[in-house]
A and B are shown apart, each in its own frame.
Chain A
């Protein structure tokens, strides 16, 4: 009976909301793509303010593009100096206070543009999209777009983009009580700034002599069935990635599945329970909720920029075929 009701309700959602919103949805998609494209093709430098709960951090960001590709550097300005360097598909995190370098590679470019065919429908099923009041961010005129979730399985999002170039200037995520979960914004930004390659290089040697280097290789062979699946996937999420990844300190590859609702993603990792003690249950890192549980001799780790109930439901319904 409840299932029938749910089907009827989702039917109502499709008939009642999606069609009238197609115009807005298309507009929102165009606008998200403009933001994604601006983030990839513009040279810019700026200072970013990041807020999560009562915590505030500032960092410096430089983005540079030339015919060889896309380069980006992020340096935190508070606390011990740490750097994130992106060279096309490779992201390197320098953590000098831990004498640690983490190198993360991936096989393909960001998944956003490749979602295009289904994205309008998926986004419109999960969010009510509308343009909000224009505003001024970092001294620049900005357009605002609101993506309001249709259920409690996802956060709401507000995006402010630069009217002139489309670059994302500010984002805000909020929960069902309208409380801000996370916010990040440029305090000042120079778009089309004079940037050269040296400005996006690390301040540290590529491999400092006495530092530990942890390398996460790109997913070899791309998609591969793992035998794991999620039996009670929250509505609106669909699988976009399934395969095996090597993680630092692991001898065996880890099964990795990614689900998206068109805007945010949830990752599911399944591995043989490591020998080191694991902290199970729910935890948070920024707006990322993480849920870990033991399933027979396996460790299931689910994380994503969604509310805790979403990662918990997914983690609790991971099963082996």
Chain B
């Protein structure tokens, strides 16, 4: 996995399937360091709080030390319909379930951590960390999600003037009248 791909992945330029496959490849020490470094650069440029070196390792250690989370039984989940992807994997390898829950909580926390830069993985994929999370919600995960939503709301509010100006110049507006303004009005509503 090269640096160009890591950079493009951070910018959400891949579709969901490709992003997943690349995330799965993000295993070599070099790739992970590059990923962390790019985020650190982004944070530094934005004057955000900076993650101290070793944040991910310490986070994983602290998470591992957390008490076990109450969650629906493996059996209930298995009966819950024909889940795809890692739900199916959970059914076949239940001992991975705990790991998967911890991993998705970590992913959600990361979304919160990096929420300021709108962690988008392509259409619909942006919510994949939250949407694929099993029913039990860690408090930290829920808080992080709220943070991500809040930052997204402020992002929408900030972008609206540009969008309003832009829409007036878009050729498709001529055919649709005020219909494209649904984007402006609706998306803000949905982010609340």
Tell me the A residues contacting B by CB distance below 8 Å: 32, 35-36, 39-40, 48, 50, 52-55, 57, 59, 61, 63, 72-74, 76, 78-80, 82, 84, 86, 91, 93, 95, 97-98, 102, 104, 106, 110-113, 115, 159, 168, 171, 175, 177, 179, 181, 184, 214, 216, 240-241, 245, 247-249, 256, 258, 260, 262-265, 267, 269, 277-288, 290-291, 294, 301, 303-305, 308-309, 312
| Chain B, 152-192, CB within 8 A of any chain A CB | 155-166, 168-179, 181-190, 192
Q: How far, in angstroms, from A139 to B21 measured CA to CA in the complex?
A: 43
Q: A93-B185, A291-B11 are in contact. List 9 more A-B contacts (CB 8 A).
A: A39-B174, A54-B127, A76-B186, A86-B178, A112-B171, A279-B155, A284-B120, A285-B156, A303-B163
Q: Top 8 A-B pairs ranked by shortest CB distance?
A: A112-B174, A79-B189, A286-B183, A110-B174, A57-B186, A283-B118, A267-B166, A265-B170
B42 interface residue (CB < 8 Å to A): yes
Cβ–Cβ < 8 Å partners of A240 in chain B: 169
Does B85 interact with chain A (Cβ within 8 Å)? Answer: no
Shortest Cβ distance from residue B92 to the other chain A in the assembled complex, whole angstroms: 27
Sample of 17 A–B contacts (CB below 8 Å): A36-B174, A52-B186, A55-B186, A55-B190, A57-B182, A79-B189, A84-B181, A104-B164, A111-B171, A112-B172, A171-B172, A179-B15, A184-B182, A216-B161, A282-B12, A303-B163, A305-B172
B169 touches which of A72, A113, A258 (Cβ 8 Å): A258
List chain A residues, Cβ under 8 A from B165. 104, 216, 245, 247, 256, 267, 269
Contact A57 B169 (CB under 8 A): no
Determine whether the beta carbon of A53 is less than 8 Å from that of B123.
Answer: yes
B161 lies within 8 A of A184 (CB): no
| Contact count band on B | 35 or more
B102-126, CB < 8 A from A: 116-118, 120, 122-124, 126
- Given known pairs A55-B190, A264-B170, the reply for A279 and B185 (CB within 8 Å) is no
Cβ of B47 < 8 Å from any Cβ of A? yes
A279 in contact with B189 (CB, 8 Å):
no
A171 to B175, CA, bound (A): 10
- Pair A57/B13 contact, Cβ less than 8 Å: no
**Residues of B with C-beta under 8 A to A282:** 11-13, 118, 120
- Bound Cα distance A93, B188 (Å): 12
Asked if residues B189 and A72 are in contact (CB atoms below 8 Å), the reply is no
Return the chain A residue nearest B131 by Cβ.
A54
Q: Is B151 an interface residue (CB 8 A)?
A: yes
- Write the nearest CB–CB distance from B4 to chain A, whole angstroms: 13
Report yes or no: B189 in contact with A78, Cβ–Cβ below 8 A.
Answer: yes
A54, A214, A241: which contacts B124 (Cβ < 8 A)?
A54
Residue contact B117 to A36, C-beta cutoff 8 Å: no
Chain B min CB distance to A143 (Å): 14
Report whether B12 and A74 are in contact in the complex, using a CB–CB cutoff of 8 Å: no
Question: Given the complex of chains A and B, what is the CA–CA distance between A50 and B182 in angstroms?
Answer: 7
**Inside 8 A of A280's CB, which chain B residues have their CB?**
42, 45-46, 117
Contacting residues, chain A, for B124 (C-beta < 8 A): 53-54, 179
Whether A304 contacts B186 by the Cβ 8 Å rule is no
